[in-house]
Structure 1
């Protein structure tokens, strides 16, 4: 059986309308207060200042919210997983930012009513004013942004990188800034504002381009993705969070619907996760100076099924392997556990942990683009020659994947859809599985993998990929004709359609929208 993984068209206007309707919403919950000085585990960082921002509707992060996110993502008692970046010697405080998105998410009077563009603009100024004096003094600074504040942190990062001298800084001093983002809508590996990256608008076809804005709504649509170089960054994403983890293939309607449901069922829960949930985070890879971690979640589209007790869990585990496979294809993941294993979904708030089978044996695939050789698409050296690392996440049509790995994914889904309900029934009847029972079930899975051809498919695929990759590298053309260069990304890029939609928006701007 494959081992557990170690920690290590829905069109642009539709997605934008989804953003308008829900306003990048995030709500705080309670847990622990910010911890005291602790032993630094995996990342040695010199003492510095730290700022914690809230999400939409939470402009003044209170001590409870600060404690929640600090205990999980900044200053856990000990690192929750191997390699987790921690900031134990930093002194964190809340930073006030507007966090509005009127007309759908407004603060009550006498607060000024701000749309998302104006809220981000004001927040960008506030964050810049908080950071720059510390950086100018040569101090280390850490920042946590969540949802909308992750967007404004992205804006500040891009501004500082493009013009450090304008803030009285050097590029080298930006290395003293450390950023942690939760549910980042501008994430370069799935953020909805990156998937639909609009060009600047002519705004009434004038001569001075300006950032594109969704007509009538004040939603910015041309903010560049979160930068992956110069500023050390950590991005945590809940699986199928529709704001931070939107599918790339816009013909994968099931994936689009699932992500939209995930806006409500995943995006709001980052502060209230248990330590066990964050400890299960999957290190999906690194791009430049940015580390990406995925927090496992159940499929939002099956939430109501899993909520129906043991019978619902068994039905969910019959449906989930197939649904997860087809949905993950929309992200560019073939769903073959032979590539990088299985991962468990622990129990906790929200929709995490739907069944005993998922907790004990794990699931395959994942909502991120993965190369045939098992690397995060976009990671260092993994993009085809000439590809802009800032644009590889743009929406498109028909993800290119290894066909044999897709076939193996189908085989694995068949096996899991049989074994999953059986495991759930066993647990419902007799309680948690013993180690010997788990070994027996693993033996059954191994047998099914041999009988159904899963093992043979992967053996053939491994041999073909190795020969292909070796030949391409021998010619010095691995990044041009190697398997990772050829079998990743959308077959049909979507930027042209996005540009055309932006031109249509400009017509509305002509009439003052």
Structure 2
């Protein structure tokens, strides 16, 4: 992990690029030397001779300027290379100091507890020391906040709203950051690109997986937050993790809002196996309830995407859900922390011992009205 603002490899790359510029300038200078400095008079009269002399003078001035520019680039290249080496040495020194400091801190804790302080087991030892050591060694939590369809890169206002309402309510102290995902749905979002829903979700899963792994490599716990399309990204990501044997179940958590894969009414869960070819939308079922990852699924009542009618032949229910897409589905980011904290927990099957919890935000008025 880099502890400095400037990365040495970036400086080295920049130095190489600048050196290429200098070489190009030298080549251009050599090629232009003859044509610009040795002009012949077009005729034997005084005007032609004066014109040739004038342009030859300009050519000589150009040669002087280019030589100075090439010299500057050479010096700049050497400066960048030196800076890169300096940063690399400083980073190595910092890493050594941090490692030594951690060893110094951990040594007495190991002596007192008989183990390293990063162990999650705080049941042994005297008094409150194990619990204190565990608290001090708790890994930081990074919350990765994704947007919904047509919101590929969440802006600071969106990230702040989601962080206050959902992340801090569920994971106090977590550090939130926006995560780019395509969030395209061709032909609905032509301004973003031509990815279909399924293609966009697939790319989103890959981006989420890479970012989660990077955070785990930094010894951070991770919370992934998904809304609408990005909730489907989380659904597919959970399925892929479970297919790999469910790695790191104690370090990864999920929050989903307005999810089409919501087991209690999600549109993509209502008709598993159905597929819309033109839009490339697979109805891939509900988020698995037996996932080992702590998961919180929030749904607004009458949301046409996350709370679709159980009986689609009831026309009024369908119309209400359709209107709910426009008047309910987009309200999640406006919720306050108190509303999230007071969301209605939904009952689960008798004897259910899974790690997924379901909540609903009650809607006062029917969207149809």
| Same-fold call, TM cutoff 0.5 | yes
Work out the CA distance in 2 between the residues paired with 1:114 and 1:75: 33
Check if 1:65 corresponds to 2:131.
Answer: no
Alignment partner, residue 349 of structure 1 = none
Work out the CA distance in 2 between the residues paired with 1:290 and 1:142: 14
CA contact (8 A) 2:167 2:174 kept: no
Alignment partner, residue 292 of structure 1 = 358
Work out the CA distance in 1 between the residues paired with 2:367 and 2:175: 40
C-alpha displacement at 1:254, in angstroms?
A: 2.3
Distance 1:48 1:301, change over 3 A: closer
Displaced runs of 4+ in structure 1, greater than 4 A? none
CA contact (8 A) 1:186 1:226 kept: yes
C-alpha displacement at 1:53, in angstroms?
A: 0.2
**Structure 2 gap segments, 5+ residues each:** 1-134
C-alpha displacement at 1:138, in angstroms?
A: 5.4
Give the alignment partner of residue 125 of structure 1, picking from 195, 206, 220: 206
CA contact (8 A) 2:198 2:281 kept: yes
| Between 293-302 and 52-61, the greater mean CA deviation after superposition | 293-302
CA contact (8 A) 1:69 1:271 kept: yes
Alignment partner, residue 197 of structure 1 = 272
Work out the CA distance in 2 between the residues paired with 1:281 and 1:194: 22
Work out the CA distance in 2 between the residues paired with 1:117 and 1:173: 26
Q: What is the number of residues matched between the two proteins? A: 228
Alignment partner, residue 92 of structure 1 = 176
Work out the CA distance in 2 between the residues paired with 1:151 and 1:69: 18
Alignment partner, residue 180 of structure 1 = 255
SS in 1 for 2:331: helix
Distance 1:177 1:196, change over 3 A: same
C-alpha displacement at 1:241, in angstroms?
A: 0.3
Distance 1:137 1:275, change over 3 A: closer
SS in 1 for 2:224: strand
TM-score (norm 1): 0.42
Q: Which has the higher contact order (CA 8 A, sep 6+)?
A: 1
CA contact (8 A) 1:284 1:294 kept: yes
Work out the CA distance in 1 between the residues paired with 2:275 and 2:307: 21
SS in 2 for 1:300: coil
Q: How does 1:252-291 map to 2 (within 5 A)?
A: 252-286=314-348, 288-291=354-357
Deviations 1:425-451 (A, max 9, x none): xxxxxxxxxxxxxxxxxxxxxxxxxxx
SS in 2 for 1:65: helix
Work out the CA distance in 1 between the residues paired with 2:326 and 2:183: 18
Work out the CA distance in 2 between the residues paired with 1:138 and 1:277: 32
CA contact (8 A) 1:142 1:177 kept: yes
Work out the CA distance in 1 between the residues paired with 2:185 and 2:341: 32
CA contact (8 A) 2:221 2:252 kept: yes
SS in 1 for 2:293: coil
Work out the CA distance in 1 between the residues paired with 2:288 and 2:225: 15
Work out the CA distance in 2 between the residues paired with 1:290 and 1:52: 19
C-alpha displacement at 1:217, in angstroms?
A: 1.6
C-alpha displacement at 1:289, in angstroms?
A: 0.9
C-alpha displacement at 1:301, in angstroms?
A: 3.9
Work out the CA distance in 1 between the residues paired with 2:179 and 2:159: 10
CA contact (8 A) 2:154 2:180 kept: yes
**Structure 1 gap segments, 5+ residues each:** 1-43, 77-85, 165-170, 199-211, 304-513
Check if 1:157 corresponds to 2:238.
Answer: yes
Deviations 1:272-297 (A, max 9, x none): 12445434411113552111110010
CA contact (8 A) 1:259 1:300 kept: no
Deviations 1:23-77 (A, max 9, x none): xxxxxxxxxxxxxxxxxxxxx985222200000111011110001111111114x
Work out the CA distance in 2 between the residues paired with 1:277 and 1:137: 33
Work out the CA distance in 2 between the residues paired with 1:248 and 1:239: 13
